[in-house]
Structure 1
Amino acid sequence: MLLQFSVNNFRSIKDTVTFSMNTASNEASKHSFQARDCHLLNSAVIYGANASGKSNVLKAMSFMRNLVLNKPKITQSTDDLPHQPFRLNTETEQASSYFEIVFFLEDVKYRYGFEADSTTVYAEWLYSDEKSKESRLFERDNEQNIHYVNKQKFKEGVGLKVLDNHLFIWKCDQNNGDISKKILQWFNNFNLINGLENEGYLHIALKQMENTDAKSELLKLVKIADLGIDEIEIEENDVPQDIIKNLPIPEELKQKMLDDGGVTTVELQTRHKKFSSKNQPIGAVLFKLSEDESQGTQKFFALSAPILDTLDKGKVLLIDELDASLHPMLTECFIKLFNNKDLNKHNAQLIFVTHDIHLLSVPELFERDQIWFTEKDQYGSTNLYSLLEFRKKNKGKDVRATDNLEKHYLQGRYGAVPYIGEM
């Protein structure tokens, strides 16, 4: 469960920005759940003008996640670390980037972070808080020549050495460390998907179709969305051998495919009712999802599977451009899944970026501390603030719960809108 994330010197983010899923008053709200002494939000939205950096906030979280899981496959001392600094300032273009995240795992609050550039991890730290008192598990600071490991609480890190371009937590995990393994697993359940790219996520729906319960839940959601679909099926077809023989791949691989019985393609199909000229039901028609259904329906399917998986396992899901190709009411449907305590039984969290300002006018869809904005300053750097934090920018004037948020946002009262000159 995510509590807080901070980053600086990443893409359009120059100075440190902090995003929080803690309720503003740290008190229970309709859209929060309790994690020890904290009340965490089930969902949050980020608005902002084009190129204001709202997507970069999510990309920064995903960047940290991928590096913690070593997705770039850094193995040698000469391997370059991914590094995407703020390039519009001479001070930052060659400087290291900073990432820190605070989260709950089995009732323990962890604070983990690091500073790195393309060649070196300059600092890395891990703290745990079991009973409202933070303990330092490990800390490394190459510039200060510090390498501390808590011998009582983090035995898995004792005596381990690490390359300058490696994270210490990798080494602990490779040493079968219990805490580090749990932390990496938490990051593995912290995912970003791009709402503009549907096809890459349809394989998750295909996978879920193998599970009867998951298929049932997916079909329920599709029917709630009123897409006119009565059933979901899987179509399997054998690829003709002459097509396999003509594939531009090594001959030994082709032969292995043929020896193994060939290749089968799998595709989702949707079943729709068919009616007579007198509008009486007379049967059904199968549609190929990828060919016959609209972009909106394909998008709904693509997002439904990872969203249901997130709810089922209590994960954290980031979605960039959630509203792309979706009717506003379908976007609203997804958000309400996370806000509904009867459906979101495992305290899953949704953080998304959108331009759909209609959502701001939906009654009780968001509390004010769930709404965030990004805005670039005159030097091209992204600022991040919540609707409640806007009070500080607004000379102490509060944002009332009864305010017309959609109207006031379009009027520019909260910032984070484009300033368009005359054509």
Structure 2
Amino acid sequence: MLIRFSVKNFLSFASREDNMSEEFSMIAGRVRGKKEHLYDDGKIKLLKFAAVYGANAAGKSNLVKAMDFMKQVVISGLPDRHTEKYCKVNPENAMKPSYFEVEILLDGKYYSYGFEIILSQSRFISEWLVELHADNSEKILFTRDIANGTYELGGMLARKGLKEKLDVYADDIRGDGSVLFLAVMNQNKKNLYESHKTAAILKNVFLWIKDSLDINYPNQPISDYSYLAQTDKVSEVCRIISAFGTGITDFALVDVPVEKVLHGLSKNLQDKILSNIEQKQVEVRNHPQIKGINMILRTLADLFIIMIDGSDTVKCQTIEFSHGRKNVLFNLEEESDGTVRILDLLEILLSGEGKTYVIDELDRCLHPSLSYKFVETFLNLAAEKNIQLIVTTHESRLMDFDLLRRDEIWFVDKKENGESDIYSLEEYNARFDQKIDKAYLEGRYGGIPIFSTIFPVERA
């Protein structure tokens, strides 16, 4: 689970006056009510939901982009055009370090992983992984001072036998500012982790960032709808879809030819899909214990399931929906944008333990009542499992103390110089009987647009 995320000198986030990074925290505040909204292990209390508000261009999406940037860098290296992503409000920031740090709860322990980088030069200057303790003490697992060509291994990673192995990899990139140690330690290291179980923290932190931190943007599909292919969930899926007022009462898997799957796609994408199918066929052929492999192809307009069975046969299906009459089916493209949005979001409600979803513009295409209902449903489900949802939104109806705790509401506000600030409603000690949405729209908490005169009135 996510504990905290910190960022400095990235897009609209510079640094606070004390040179500290901007911090977004899922640590619970002083609120006493709605304890079912929390994860509580006796040492730390974490929120399972947070809504981030702010005016257009205030920096809400930049918070999501900062999380996503850190994830991309760890998993696949520096993305295109990263050299221009420092905070440009001050030209001097081009040569200052950008800072990214994530604190997570993993297997009952707390860890902090982060790095600093001078983006304009594509040069990492430091990296660290630290085990945190409830008494505010910490234990270094590894640190790198790349500029000075030094590193340190500690804790479980400094155990005899393992340290000598890790020294080889760490020394090899001692002064290399183009790579991260965490990324290197997750490239073809299967034998190492099988031989040294205590090294698994390097793999587990990497996998949390890769698989458990699920970041989604409004112009991209959130889900591939693979949950619809799980037959044991069919009735539950239908019940939830119907409860959200979409009009959908059932769905069916309909056979389609491979040609339809490929229709309208670029030649490069067609070749890639056909190559993937061939690779999966070889995998099934060479491993008789594998009964079959399913591939999901999701576009904005349609969804296909490509199935390769044990006999090497390729079968393609699409999912179509009925609205009362089972003999009349509608494909994904024929459903409304709001229905497609709900179908996307259902994955969150059906997810298992351990995921942290970040959704930019949750309320896109949703009626205000539907946004409220979705968050209410999530919170009810989250009371029974450890899952987190962080959303950016303009939907002020969610600012309701009957629905949310005070510490679950966050704001991003842009200062006159263009820098963004992140802060929580918890800082305001708002009364529980107050109309928070009204106070917010009146500008009490910031994070709203400030208008000038659009059409000046000429005076005689």
**Common fold by TM > 0.5:** yes
* Preserved CA contact (<8 Å) 2:13 2:419: yes
Identity in percent: 31
Match of 2:336 in 1: 294
* Preserved CA contact (<8 Å) 2:349 2:378: no
Query: Which residue of 240, 257, 260 maps to 1:238?
Result: 257
Cα gap change, 1:158 to 1:287, in 2 (>3 Å)? same
Cα gap change, 1:185 to 1:419, in 2 (>3 Å)? same
Q: SS where residue 138 of structure 1 aligns?
A: strand
* Preserved CA contact (<8 Å) 1:98 1:116: yes
Query: Which residue of 325, 336, 356 maps to 2:376?
Result: 336
Match of 1:135 in 2: 139
Letter in 1 for 2:108: D
Bigger share in helix: 2
1:113 is displaced (CA, Å) by 0.8
Superposed CA deviations along residues 250-298 of structure 1, whole A, max 9, x for unmatched, are 9999998999999865432111224xxxxxxxx642111212x111111
Tell me the C-alpha RMSD between the 2 structures: 3.2
- The CA distance in 1 between the partners of 2:75 and 2:315, in whole Å, is 32
TM-score (structure 2 length as normaliser): 0.77
Cα gap change, 1:252 to 1:299, in 2 (>3 Å)? closer
Q: SS where residue 270 of structure 1 aligns?
A: strand
1:365 is displaced (CA, Å) by 1.3
* Preserved CA contact (<8 Å) 1:107 1:130: no
Please state if 1:356 is matched with 2:395: yes
- The CA distance in 2 between the partners of 1:402 and 1:164, in whole Å, is 53
* Preserved CA contact (<8 Å) 1:98 1:115: yes
Aligned pairs, how many? 393
* Preserved CA contact (<8 Å) 1:239 1:262: no
Please state if 1:380 is matched with 2:380: no
- The CA distance in 2 between the partners of 1:251 and 1:419, in whole Å, is 48
Match of 1:313 in 2: 353
Please state if 1:8 is matched with 2:17: no
* Preserved CA contact (<8 Å) 1:257 1:263: no
Query: Which residue of 341, 344, 365 maps to 2:403?
Result: 365
Please state if 1:271 is matched with 2:290: no
Q: SS where residue 69 of structure 1 aligns?
A: helix
* Preserved CA contact (<8 Å) 2:36 2:383: no
- The CA distance in 1 between the partners of 2:234 and 2:2, in whole Å, is 28
- The CA distance in 2 between the partners of 1:258 and 1:98, in whole Å, is 41
Cα gap change, 1:402 to 1:143, in 2 (>3 Å)? same
Q: SS where residue 312 of structure 1 aligns?
A: coil
Can you give the 5+ residue segments of structure 2 that lack an aligned partner in the other structure? Answer: 16-20, 193-198, 282-311, 455-460
Can you give the 5+ residue segments of structure 1 that lack an aligned partner in the other structure? Answer: 74-78, 275-282, 392-397
* Preserved CA contact (<8 Å) 1:42 1:338: no
Match of 1:325 in 2: 365
* Preserved CA contact (<8 Å) 2:354 2:387: yes
Letter in 2 for 1:380: G
Q: SS where residue 324 of structure 2 aligns?
A: strand
Letter in 2 for 1:300: I
* Preserved CA contact (<8 Å) 1:191 1:316: yes
Please state if 1:68 is matched with 2:59: no
TM-score (structure 1 length as normaliser): 0.84
Letter in 2 for 1:66: Q
* Preserved CA contact (<8 Å) 1:196 1:324: no
1:95 is displaced (CA, Å) by 2.4
Superposed CA deviations along residues 177-201 of structure 1, whole A, max 9, x for unmatched, are 411101111112101112343xx34
Q: SS where residue 178 of structure 2 aligns?
A: coil
- The CA distance in 1 between the partners of 2:246 and 2:113, in whole Å, is 43
Cα gap change, 1:147 to 1:388, in 2 (>3 Å)? same
Moved more, 121-130 or 265-274: 265-274
1:153 is displaced (CA, Å) by 3.8
Moved more, 96-105 or 324-333: 324-333
Q: How does 1:400-415 map to 2 (within 5 A)?
A: 400-415=431-446
1:27 is displaced (CA, Å) by 6.6
- The CA distance in 2 between the partners of 1:412 and 1:251, in whole Å, is 51
Match of 1:87 in 2: 88
Match of 1:212 in 2: 231
Superposed CA deviations along residues 2-51 of structure 1, whole A, max 9, x for unmatched, are 11111001111111210000111387834211134111001000000000
Q: SS where residue 328 of structure 2 aligns?
A: strand
Match of 2:129 in 1: 126
Match of 1:25 in 2: 30
Letter in 2 for 1:147: Y
1:358 is displaced (CA, Å) by 1.5
Moved more, 129-138 or 105-114: 129-138
Superposed CA deviations along residues 291-318 of structure 1, whole A, max 9, x for unmatched, are 2x1111111112212x135x31320000
1:399 is displaced (CA, Å) by 1.4
Letter in 2 for 1:84: K
- The CA distance in 1 between the partners of 2:179 and 2:394, in whole Å, is 38
Match of 1:280 in 2: none
Cα gap change, 1:99 to 1:263, in 2 (>3 Å)? same
Cα gap change, 1:153 to 1:266, in 2 (>3 Å)? same
1:145 is displaced (CA, Å) by 4.2
Q: SS where residue 416 of structure 1 aligns?
A: coil
Cα gap change, 1:131 to 1:52, in 2 (>3 Å)? closer
Cα gap change, 1:131 to 1:381, in 2 (>3 Å)? closer
Superposed CA deviations along residues 185-220 of structure 1, whole A, max 9, x for unmatched, are 1112101112343xx345x21x22221123333222
Q: How does 1:90-129 map to 2 (within 5 A)?
A: 90-118=91-119, 119-129=122-132
Superposed CA deviations along residues 356-403 of structure 1, whole A, max 9, x for unmatched, are 111113x521111110101111110001100122x3xxxxxx311111
Letter in 1 for 2:424: S
